[in-house]
Amino acid sequence: MQSLRRREKIRMIEKIDHIGIAVKSIQESMKVYTEILGLEITEIETIEEQKVKTAFIPIGESEIELLESTADDGPIAKFIEKHGEGVQHIALKVDNIDRKLSELKRKDVRLIDEKPRMGAGGAKIAFIHPKDTKGVLIELCER
């Protein structure tokens, strides 16, 4: 019984879905990945509600997500102002985001998103507060 529960928990987080990188300009930053590293951008999308434009670059089973702010008061603009360009979050693919959020709430983990919202590529996403993850912004992602 115990090993079944342990396997259930392990399956809830499947892999690193993507690494989000805050950039001032997707057009300028994509050159690093396309021209220097030889990778391809598969989709560019604007998510108005989050004031962000995203570009996804697949690498194996994971992706790099470039994030460009579409507004001066957007979360990515604020991140860049405070930290500069660079890694902004790590996204973990989960099999059931609602169940994972319920589990985290039971453990009194601080959440930025109590309920999932729509992210790029039609994914359901939610963020864990970095104060409870040693300064790392973790996104949960269900596709």
Q: What is the domain-level CATH number for residue 115?
A: 3.10.180.10
Residue 10 binned pLDDT confidence (cut-offs 50, 70, 90) = very low
* Of 87, 95, 97, 81, nearest in space to 21 by CA: 87
pTM greater than the 0.95 cutoff? no
Domain count, the chain: 1
What's the pLDDT tens digit per position in 78-129? Answer: 999 999 999 999 999 999 999 999 999 999 999 999 999 999 989 999 999 9
Segments forming the whole domain that contains residue 40: 2-142
The pLDDT of residue 137 is 98
C-alpha span between 124 and 36 (Å, rounded): 32
Q: Which residues of 53-68 are buried (b: 16+ CB within 10 A; e: fewer)?
A: bbbbbeeeeebbbbbb
